[in-house]
Amino acid sequence: MQAKEKLNLARVQIMLVDDNVQSLDILAQIVSGFGARNLFRCVSAAEARDTLERHTVDMILFDAQMPEESGYDFAHWVRWQAPEKIKFTPMIMLTGHTPQSQVTHARDNGINFVVTKPLVPRILLERIQWLAKDERQYVQCETYVGPDRRFKRLGPPYGVDGRRHDDLKGSVGMAREANMSQEEIDALMMPAKVAL
């Protein structure tokens, strides 16, 4: 990213959840290296739930494999049972196991991104930047709560390079002709009688 597009994380509240204290320390160092100063460190999903009952966070990064409660179950709790102010918080799950079934399971639990371990700081930063620019709405229905998944071919947010050659661009570009007036639009859209 260019200097003018830098992301300032100094005032962002970030929760980190990992049962492995060494991994939690490494994650905290990486995120602090990105400029984050307000970190909630939790060594279990239960501790994270207690913290979320009392505090609001802007982002949650958590491990998938925790002994007492998996990251998938924790994500499900955030989306379905957490206080309303937390329900739509962006979540990034960190895992060393990424078969398609697990990634799909993460997506279906409303997780925004899955990042593989061992962590590559650049990849994690790119996902955080992507979340900061993401304009997708959150959906809440009978079977799903989380970011709108109906964007497969939409492509990345504006200013972020695509992953596939056929991704649409994040920006349409400059207009090529003048905007139509409302009367012109109405005339174009209005049904007209046709002689048969």
Q: Residue 133: is its pLDDT beyond 80?
A: yes
Residues of the chain above pLDDT 90, percent: 51
Which pair of structure tokens corresponds to residue 31?
């995120």
**Is the residue at 196 inside a domain?**
no
The Cα–Cα gap between 80 and 83 comes to 9
Closest C-alpha to 48, from 84, 39, 108, 10: 39
Q: What pLDDT sits at residue 159?
A: 60
Region 39-59: what's the mean pLDDT? Answer: 97
**Is the residue at 180 inside a domain?**
no
Domain total of the chain = 1
**Is the residue at 167 inside a domain?**
no
**Is the residue at 108 inside a domain?**
yes
Do residues 56 and 87 touch, judged by C-beta distance below 8 A?
Answer: no
**Is the residue at 129 inside a domain?**
yes
pLDDT for 11-25, tens place per residue?
999 999 999 999 999
**Is the residue at 47 inside a domain?**
yes
Q: What pLDDT sits at residue 180?
A: 54
Q: What are phi and psi of 61, to 5 degrees?
A: -115, 125
**Is the residue at 143 inside a domain?**
yes
Which pair of structure tokens corresponds to residue 110?
């409303």
Region 1-17: what's the mean pLDDT? Answer: 78
**Is the residue at 37 inside a domain?**
yes
Closest C-alpha to 128, from 64, 41, 58: 58
Which pair of structure tokens corresponds to residue 47?
């501790």
pLDDT for 120-132, tens place per residue?
999 999 899 988 8
Task: Please state which of the ranges 15-24, 44-53, 56-65, 115-124 shows the lowest mean pLDDT.
Answer: 115-124
Q: Which structural domain range is residue 130 located in?
A: 8-147
CA distance readout (Å), 110 to 8, 14, 44, 102, 114: 25, 18, 19, 13, 11
CATH number, domain with residue 106: 3.40.50.2300
Q: How many residues does the chain have?
A: 196
Which pair of structure tokens corresponds to residue 69?
């409660």
DSSP-derived 3-state class of residue 23: helix
